[in-house]
Amino acid sequence: MRVLFYVFPFVIFALSQAQLISVHVIFRHGARAPVLNVTSEEAKSYFYRGLGQLTDQGIEQAKLIGKVLKDRYVNTFVDARMLPTQLLFRSSPVERCLMTIQTVGNTMFVNSTPPVQTVAKPDDFLLVPKLDCAFQIDEWTNFFNLTENDKKQAKKNPWFISEKALRRATAASQTLQQRSDENLPALILEKDAGLAVPSWFNEEAYKESLTVFYKALAVMSSVGEYKSSKGIRVKTGLLLDKILNDIQEKVRCHEKNQKGHISCDRHKLQVFSTHDLLILPFLDALGIREAALGEDLPPKFLSAIIIETMLLDDIPFVKVFYRGDPRDITLRDMTGLVRNCPPNQALCPVNLFTSCCGEFITADPRRECYEEKADQQLHNWTMTTVSWILIGISAFLLIILIIMSYLAVRYKNRSVVTIKKVCLEN
């Protein structure tokens, strides 16, 4: 205890002397309505914006984290006048994510709104987890012994697999064993919103439902008992790759800028608004999922990961924080728990942090998700009877075309000779 008494003030003093050079914030959107349906007229009235949309409560949650980020970074790290060159606000194109990040930005900068970047959902491999990769069908088949009909349904609608995982987890639950047909995801949200729920959905059933719901998310996000390095890589590998490269680039910029002749301010604060299906694999890649969330629990609304890069005596370090509850105004320091970082240390050297997650990083998730499928189909393509018949017919028609072309040219040449001979005779 005496050692800690002396060490703790030293750490605080050291951090107060550190120069912050970049910040990355990744959060889940705020509270939303159920995606599929609600269970009561009261719930239908409460979630008046529609299924899957941000609620008034979600907007208030976004304002709170906006205030947390404002107090921590505005004025002290970025200009309070909102200079777009200092910021990168990037969102999933889903409306609840866009509304969340816009509210956060409006709260951080009172007189101006940071521009929010996004791309179309099919093209967003940064913040929209892909669920239709070919290899995932094979993985799901191993987990659930899928029939051919199941595979067809999974290809058409990947959430069919999530429903399977939900039913499996419900069947294994003592409390919810007889409730497999209930709309548990909707009941969780309705109870969180303070709405009336069935009497059987008591506190015990609610807590058990969170674990059951986590299992349904885990299979889609490739974590927990359904863990897949490749699945994590496709879902969150591009964001990891971007953040780690950004950190290294900022460090190199400051190393070159010892005399202050160049600016390293571009996009030094980056904020990302995304989904639980990306937060889960991102935490797993860093090795802090269970430490951050607890065992078999999903991330809450507006849970956030914050990665700060700083210079201490010109040596680059990283700190990693987690905000687990939408009501929290404090951040939990997770630095010493991150994969590859020194355990129980307040700071993680940049070179260790940026080498934490090699197996989960990709610069081209599109190719891993889709083009490998096409390559495999091409590799596995075999000639059928119909294929041989079509090739035979094509070859026969080609030969006929060649013969007809030859005869036409020969006839034309003979006609020209005949005409010339007639002209000479006359």
Using one digit for the tens of pLDDT, what is the confidence trace for 242-265?
999 999 999 999 998 776 667 899
Per-residue pLDDT band at 17 (split at 50, 70, 90): confident
Residue 413 reports pLDDT greater than 70: no
Residue 4 reports pLDDT greater than 50: no
Per-residue pLDDT band at 27 (split at 50, 70, 90): very high
Residue 345 reports pLDDT greater than 90: yes
Residue 295 reports pLDDT greater than 70: yes
Residue 372, pLDDT score: 52
Residue with tokens 């007639």: 422
Q: Are 13 and 313 in contact (CB under 8 A)?
A: no
Please give the Cα distance from 235 to 126 (Å, whole number). Answer: 8
The pLDDT > 90 percentage for the chain reads 78
Query: Radius of gyration over alpha carbons of the chain, in Å?
Result: 30
Residue 12 reports pLDDT greater than 60: no
Least confident of 105-119, 285-299, 322-336, 372-386: 372-386
Per-residue pLDDT band at 98 (split at 50, 70, 90): very high
Question: What would the mean pLDDT of 393-413 be, rounded to a whole number?
Answer: 76
**Residue 30 φ then ψ, to 5°:** -75, 180
CA 373, 378, 380, 382 dihedral sign is positive
Residue 425 reports pLDDT greater than 60: no
Question: What would the mean pLDDT of 82-95 be, rounded to a whole number?
Answer: 98
Of residues 419 and 261, the one with the higher pLDDT is 261
Enzyme catalytic residues = 29, 276
CA 170, 176, 177, 181 dihedral sign is negative
What is the overall mean pLDDT for the chain? 89
Of residues 111 and 87, the one with the higher pLDDT is 87
Of residues 380 and 218, the one with the higher pLDDT is 218
| DSSP symbols for 264-289 | --TT-EEEEEE-HHHHHHHHHHHT-H
Least confident of 39-43, 236-240, 286-290, 380-384: 380-384
Of residues 386 and 195, the one with the higher pLDDT is 195
**Which helix (H) or strand (E) segment is 26 a member of?**
strand 19-28
Residue 137, pLDDT score: 92
Per-residue pLDDT band at 6 (split at 50, 70, 90): very low
Residue 396, pLDDT score: 81
The strand ranges marked E within 44-147 are: 87-91, 116-117
Least confident of 48-52, 160-164, 175-179: 175-179
